[in-house]
Chains A and B, each alone.
Chain A
């Protein structure tokens, strides 16, 4: 028999998606790992003080949305996977922990709160490794079939983002930023990475759906534009740039909510529609996924608040 090398479908898009997602996480992780300034600055300017509150609130809301989205989506997808290994409980559990931490705010002791959020960030990062192994274990390895249908390589990133967003909120609440623009910039970098990583995953999954509806292009075009404007505003803040970034992030946040409506329509379009929910909630477009964009966008708006304050 003639011998042939086993096929390996190299997929540039998926590679880029992974790289982007990881870059986003590394960026956000660096930001999170940064030790807070030990001494508060009592003499900070008044505008910064006023910006701090809404920024913290937005970051917290963003973190909550991200955590809720990751928890429901992760639980649904892992249920689909039959929870066939115990580690599959970790992602949804960590997301619920992050959700509780962000939601309960001061009602939860700070060490527990930050512990839960850090755990979510860690579990999300580890999730990538598990998902990568799931892909490599299947016949074909890194090939389109497995990128489409094995454990999604980008998905755990949303758990990590939920943790990082919550951490950002706790830090903003805790003390005056010494240099709000620097903090704003770090949050902006994390947001840009989160937006691009999420976009990459959506691009892969909407490609799997053959972009059969033109609306499926919106979540792969609008968020990168928002990321671009936010990046520009963070690099060299100006009122025009900040205004533009604010609008684009607002649009992205809206898109996340409208996306759920589109996905609900998708469930209806599958065979049996909502009556066949046992199947369609698992195989149709995921309802909890689009608000993840809203969550990231809210964190981005928090960055804008801080950047505006220092302008």
Chain B
């Protein structure tokens, strides 16, 4: 597994923490983001599945920022999104049943727990689920694709891209208040924005 190209090698959004780009509330919120809480919601069995799932959906060979613990924290608070699809159970139950079904699918297809599978086997399994090709009875009436995209992957990706390291990775300006931006046109950046490396700029390819 290769890391994505480092387009902004000299950029760390946290360097701006004490600049006018950050205000007090943002400093407070992001400081909290860097200090994960204790696990409260998931039991050990589902926790292993969740950790492996996070590693598959947002692989981090180049770093190790916690994702699963924030999902645990959100579910402990019963934090919801506002949408309960009528073919999905409430959020807490959806996560438990979704992870259990994933684990059952792994054992059924490979005879091994999900977290024991190699990365490409895990990816293949998730892609099958996304195609709604599932066999484990644990899925019951759960819609596999909706479960995968709207619940599991959605939240994992959300957590990943709410970490300052992810902002630095993609060259996002990050917090910006009271100081915003002056140079708005194409190929223009302010001194406090990420500078793209010349090598990757020449190859704006996916």
Chain A residues within 8 Å of B, Cβ to Cβ: 80, 82, 84, 271-272, 275-276, 278-279, 282-283
Q: B178–A276 contact, CB under 8 A? A: yes
Give 7 A-B contacts (CB < 8 Å), ordered by A residue.
A80-B182, A271-B177, A271-B178, A271-B179, A272-B20, A278-B190, A278-B191
A80 interface neighbour in B20, B177, B178, B183, Cβ under 8 Å: B183
Residues of B within 8 A of A278 (CB): 20, 179, 190-192
Q: Across the A-B interface, give the 10 residue pairs with the lowest CB-CB distance, nearest first.
A: A272-B178, A271-B178, A276-B20, A276-B179, A282-B182, A279-B179, A276-B178, A272-B20, A279-B182, A82-B188
Within 8 A of A (CB), among B165-206: 177-183, 188, 190-192
- Annotate B127-157 by CB proximity to A: 1 below 8 A, 0 otherwise: 0000000000000000000000000000000
**CB-nearest residue of chain A relative to B188?**
A82
A82 interface neighbour in B179, B181, B183, Cβ under 8 Å: B183
Residues of A within 8 A of B182 (CB): 80, 279, 282-283
Q: How far is the CB of A171 from chain B (nearest CB, A)?
A: 41
Q: How far is the CB of A164 from chain B (nearest CB, A)?
A: 32
Residues of A within 8 A of B188 (CB): 82, 84
In this complex, the member of A80, A84, A276, A282 whose beta carbon has the largest number of chain B beta carbons within 10 angstroms is: A276
Expressed in whole angstroms, the Cα–Cα distance for A166 and B3 within the complex equals 61
Q: Known interface pairs A276-B20, A278-B20. Does A271 touch B191 (Cβ–Cβ under 8 Å)?
A: no
Expressed in whole angstroms, the Cα–Cα distance for A137 and B71 within the complex equals 49
Q: A272–B183 contact, CB under 8 A? A: no
Residues of B within 8 A of A282 (CB): 182
B179 interface neighbour in A80, A84, A272, Cβ under 8 Å: A272
In this complex, the member of B179, B190, B192 whose beta carbon has the largest number of chain A beta carbons within 10 angstroms is: B179
Expressed in whole angstroms, the Cα–Cα distance for A278 and B192 within the complex equals 10
Residues of A within 8 A of B192 (CB): 278
Q: A279–B180 contact, CB under 8 A? A: yes
Expressed in whole angstroms, the Cα–Cα distance for A151 and B181 within the complex equals 18
Residues of B within 8 A of A279 (CB): 20, 179-182, 190
**CB-nearest residue of chain B relative to A272?**
B178
Chain B residues within 8 Å of A, Cβ to Cβ: 20, 177-183, 188, 190-192
**CB-nearest residue of chain B relative to A275?**
B20
**CB-nearest residue of chain A relative to B192?**
A278
Residues of B within 8 A of A271 (CB): 177-180
Expressed in whole angstroms, the Cα–Cα distance for A272 and B20 within the complex equals 8
Residues of A within 8 A of B179 (CB): 271-272, 276, 278-279
Expressed in whole angstroms, the Cα–Cα distance for A80 and B188 within the complex equals 10
**CB-nearest residue of chain B relative to A82?**
B188
Expressed in whole angstroms, the Cα–Cα distance for A195 and B191 within the complex equals 36
Q: How far is the CB of B28 from chain A (nearest CB, A)?
A: 18
Residues of B within 8 A of A80 (CB): 182-183
Residues of A within 8 A of B183 (CB): 80, 82
Q: How far is the CB of B53 from chain A (nearest CB, A)?
A: 41
Q: How far is the CB of B183 from chain A (nearest CB, A)?
A: 6
Q: How far is the CB of B59 from chain A (nearest CB, A)?
A: 37
Q: How far is the CB of B36 from chain A (nearest CB, A)?
A: 32
Expressed in whole angstroms, the Cα–Cα distance for A278 and B178 within the complex equals 11
A84-B188, A278-B179 are known; give 7 further A-B pairs, CB within 8 A. Answer: A271-B178, A271-B180, A275-B178, A276-B20, A276-B178, A276-B179, A279-B180
Q: How far is the CB of A90 from chain B (nearest CB, A)?
A: 20
Q: How far is the CB of A283 from chain B (nearest CB, A)?
A: 6
Residues of A within 8 A of B178 (CB): 271-272, 275-276
Expressed in whole angstroms, the Cα–Cα distance for A82 and B182 within the complex equals 11
Residues of B within 8 A of A82 (CB): 183, 188
Q: How far is the CB of B96 from chain A (nearest CB, A)?
A: 45
Q: How far is the CB of A237 from chain B (nearest CB, A)?
A: 48
**CB-nearest residue of chain B relative to A277?**
B20
Q: How far is the CB of B185 from chain A (nearest CB, A)?
A: 9
Q: How far is the CB of B165 from chain A (nearest CB, A)?
A: 25
Q: How far is the CB of B182 from chain A (nearest CB, A)?
A: 5
Expressed in whole angstroms, the Cα–Cα distance for A282 and B192 within the complex equals 14
Expressed in whole angstroms, the Cα–Cα distance for A272 and B181 within the complex equals 12
Expressed in whole angstroms, the Cα–Cα distance for A84 and B180 within the complex equals 21
Expressed in whole angstroms, the Cα–Cα distance for A84 and B182 within the complex equals 15
Residues of A within 8 A of B190 (CB): 278-279
Expressed in whole angstroms, the Cα–Cα distance for A250 and B20 within the complex equals 41
**CB-nearest residue of chain B relative to A271?**
B178
Expressed in whole angstroms, the Cα–Cα distance for A61 and B186 within the complex equals 41
Expressed in whole angstroms, the Cα–Cα distance for A275 and B178 within the complex equals 9
Expressed in whole angstroms, the Cα–Cα distance for A15 and B181 within the complex equals 30
Expressed in whole angstroms, the Cα–Cα distance for A278 and B177 within the complex equals 13
**CB-nearest residue of chain B relative to A273?**
B178
Residues of A within 8 A of B177 (CB): 271
**CB-nearest residue of chain A relative to B182?**
A282
Q: How far is the CB of B21 from chain A (nearest CB, A)?
A: 9
